[in-house]
Amino acid sequence: MLENNQNLEPRSALPDVASRIRSIRKMKGLSLDELAMRSLVSKSMISQIEGNKTNPTLAMIWKIAKGLDTTVQNLIQPRQDAAIDGAPLHTHSPGEPHEDGGTTEILFEYTRKENFTQITADKPGVHFRVLTPAEQSEDLEIYRISIRPGAILDSQPHLGGTEEYLTLLKGRLRVIAEDNSSEMNSGDFIMYHADIPHSMENIGDENAEVHLVVRFR
């Protein structure tokens, strides 16, 4: 979703992503070379990220998270009760017995808006809010995006098989996926392959509000 050379600028202080990446990598016994091969992020870039010499993009964090077999949210906003290696917390189906003989409660969990991670792209006029809970499966991420009039969000291809599902909540938007282009009005929905160059541009005269689901396969 983010262009590979875009930086993340936290609206408020983000947790130390660099130390999380380094600690999980070492816990899993991975060298920089091994993580580079697994994540498709260069060894030098990972070294710079771990050394706090560069601010990684969200797409880059996602690649590293995949290489570490963890979730993006566990690197950005880890839950205190989550395992350090980022493995999903064990869950039970409603009514399934626990080891102690009890039964689990039906899942019902919400997050207040002030606890969402605030992220902006380095291009003026684009603001991200991550909506995906920390325990969410690593193959799905959800965002609320605000794009000012005239602003463009360009994205380089994600890993093969990635798809995006976009609902325009407000405003007008032009979405391009390689050679395909569509102009959207408020309430419209579009889905497209995101393993090719793609972009969204606000072609209206008010902020465009977007709900975006990114599905990694």
pLDDT at site 27: 93
Superfamily of domain 139-215: Jelly Rolls (2.60.120.10)
Taking the CA atoms of the chain, what radius of gyration do you get in angstroms?
A: 18
> Check: CATH 1.10.260.40 for 9-76?
yes
Q: CATH 2.60.120.10 spans which residues of the chain?
A: 139-215
Higher confidence at residue 67 or residue 159? Answer: 67
pLDDT tens-digit readout, 161-212? 889 999 999 999 999 999 999 999 999 999 999 989 999 999 999 999 999 9
Question: What percent of the chain is modeled with pLDDT above 90?
Answer: 36
pTM of the model: 0.60
- CA–CA distance, 61 with 71 (Å, rounded to integer): 9
- CA–CA distance, 131 with 116 (Å, rounded to integer): 7
pLDDT tens-digit readout, 1-12? 544 333 443 333
pLDDT tens-digit readout, 18-32? 889 999 999 999 999
- CA–CA distance, 25 with 11 (Å, rounded to integer): 27
Is 14's pLDDT higher than 60? no
Is 132's pLDDT higher than 90? no
What stretch of H or E contains 50? helix 43-50
Is 74's pLDDT higher than 60? yes
pLDDT at site 6: 38
Q: CATH 1.10.260.40 spans which residues of the chain?
A: 9-76
What's the CA angle centered on 14, arms 9 and 16, to 5 degrees?
115
